[in-house]
Structure 1
């Protein structure tokens, strides 16, 4: 059950009221988004707000002391918006806003069960869906572990994700492309399936192939197709396994966690450890000083282990959140530990190679279709402008 911050119920003889007080929570934001999209057109006074990270940066919502009416399954619901301002003075190192906003929901008492059990869930679901549809995709990168703490410090930093790659622009075999798209659609619509089989709603993809074959472009195409944020995880900036879990908790649903060049990120594979141990047997005495310095640098660096990464992918902590994709990329799949890429962790292995005839043919066809569409749009625009000029002359 979603926690709404503070909820009061004032029950009268015929009417009931629920108050939603603004806190930094998804619930209040979802309700506000729902009202803005569905009922604010009926309000007499509107308030314009600038919303960050959204495709519609200017959002109109009902102003203070405004009331609007919504209907749901025959029930009439009144929403009322207002705010209070704190009058007492206080001093704080981290000052908070003196203004407290709230929404009041009023309905007939006979609809109490419908409102509390169905309508509120409906509002939250619709509000969240609208937010996801309108949001601007973001590209995150993790900050070094030692920089997480302090005022307004965060584990992730982000910029707007504006990569132009789409499946239509990828030069690859059409059958393989269709197979990947179908797999993504199946995953996105598979919430009930994953719950039925008792698995976390996540999927792993391993992209491998020579350098320059489009692994990063594939990630961007998947993000744009799924409308998911991208978390680019830099393992060398993570101090230890515990920090890896904290980063996972701080990610959102509907996201892609990417570890590029996994074979180069850290010394995680069993093969590399064996090679290192074999090399240590032939170590010369004169190399002791050099090795001591290397050991000192290793102590200062990341202590993330293969076990920690495996738990990150499909351990108990990996079930937090939902609708999440994990992608590894590598140029040398043979260097990876089999435990890291087995089915169940990396569910689908996608080999990306240099373009063949079919890939070039499909890409050229897509480019020709795009050019034709652009010409049609330009022609329609020119005809519209010409018609406007003729009307002005007449």
Structure 2
């Protein structure tokens, strides 16, 4: 189906420094065909997005897909019968595509190498599908895994050389708040911004929680005052 979600890197509310790092990394990947051929690597890149719920993991995936103009494939491992089925699904992906595996720590009980069972998707099966021999059959492909609990992952999954970039999406920073204020209120500066910046340095709050407060119809002075009260 057509994917018409409007979020982009211009409107996503994540830390501005992190946003630039991600865009630079994507640009390097897009222009990297010669590099991947020279180094004998499959032209693909894997990202691990981790952090508390409501910090923008799904929004970032959408912004990445829109920036790249890639097709999105949403892989629900619980709906895959076995390793062979998984391999066949991966082989049917188009080039210029982004594969999403959300909540990898709890989406399926991945069996380890010693406890592998027939007719189940195992951890080795997942690793072979994404990084094994058959992974070179598609090119210019991105795979994004998400988790709220990075510490629960099997260490073979996020190791260097497999997850190329780990992106920590944490609680709302001031730069992310400024983006939200511009998106919802149409303002870039206000005398209450300094107070809000100080409060954000002391309080753990997600961008989703701030956005929920800003969706309440109100004059922007009252909206910012309400944000101060919410953070206090």
TM-score above 0.5: yes
Please report how far the alpha carbon of residue 369 of structure 1 lies from its aligned counterpart in structure 2 after TM superposition: 8.0
Aligned to 2:32, which of 177, 190, 193? 190
1:331 positional shift: 0.5
* Counterpart in the other structure of 2:193: none
CA offset at residue 188 of structure 1?
0.6
* Moved beyond 3 Å, runs of 4+: 362-370
What TM-score do the two structures reach when normalised by structure 2? 0.75
Query: Residues 357 and 201 (structure 1 numbering): CA distance in 2 closer, same or farther, change over 3 Å?
Result: same
Residue 335 in 1 paired to residue 177 in 2?
no
- Could you tell me how far apart the structure 2 residues matched to 1:351 and 1:334 are? 13
**Residue number among 45, 52, 55 corresponding to 1:210 in the alignment:** 52
C-alpha separation in 2, matches of 1:322 and 1:167: 24
SS of 1:329's equivalent in the other structure is strand
Determine if contact 2:111/2:122 at 8 Å carries over to the other structure. no
| Larger RCO (CA within 8 A; separation ≥ 6) | 2
Residue by residue over 1:160-192, the C-alpha shift from the partner in whole angstroms, topping out at 9 and shown as x without a partner, is: 111111111111111110000000000011001
**Is residue 234 from structure 1 mapped to residue 76 from structure 2 by the alignment?**
yes
The alignment status of 1:349 with 2:166, answered yes or no, reads yes
Report the CA distance between 1:366 and its aligned residue.
Answer: 6.2
Q: Secondary structure at the match of 1:355?
A: coil
1:174-227 deviations in whole A, cap 9, x for unaligned?
Answer: 111000000000001100100000000000000001111111111100000000
Report Cα offsets for 1:224-281 as digits up to 9, x if no partner: 00000000001111111111111011100000011000011111266xx99xx9xxxx
Kept in 2: contact 1:200–1:319 (CA 8 A): yes
Contact 1:269 1:335 in 2 (8 A): no
Deviation at 1:358, TM superposition (A): 2.1
The DSSP-based 3-state class of the residue aligned with 2:49 is strand
The TM-score normalised by the length of structure 1 is: 0.45
Contact persistence 1:206–1:327 (CA under 8 A): yes
User: What is the distance in 2 between the residues matched to 1:203 and 1:212?
Assistant: 25
Tell me, in whole angstroms, the C-alpha distance in 1 between the residues paired with 2:183 and 2:76: 35
CA distance in 1 between counterparts of 2:183 and 2:107 reads 36
Structure with bigger gyration radius = 1
1:160 partnered with 2:160: no
What SS does structure 2 have at the residue aligned with 1:210?
A: coil
1:259 to 2:76 alignment: no
Q: State whether residues 168 and 363 of structure 1, in contact with CA within 8 Å, keep that contact through their aligned partners in structure 2.
A: no
Give the unaligned 5+ runs of structure 1.
1-158, 278-297, 371-394
Superposed CA RMSD: 2.2
- Separation in 2, partners of 1:320, 1:369: 48
- What secondary structure sits across from 2:100 in the alignment? strand
Higher strand share: 1
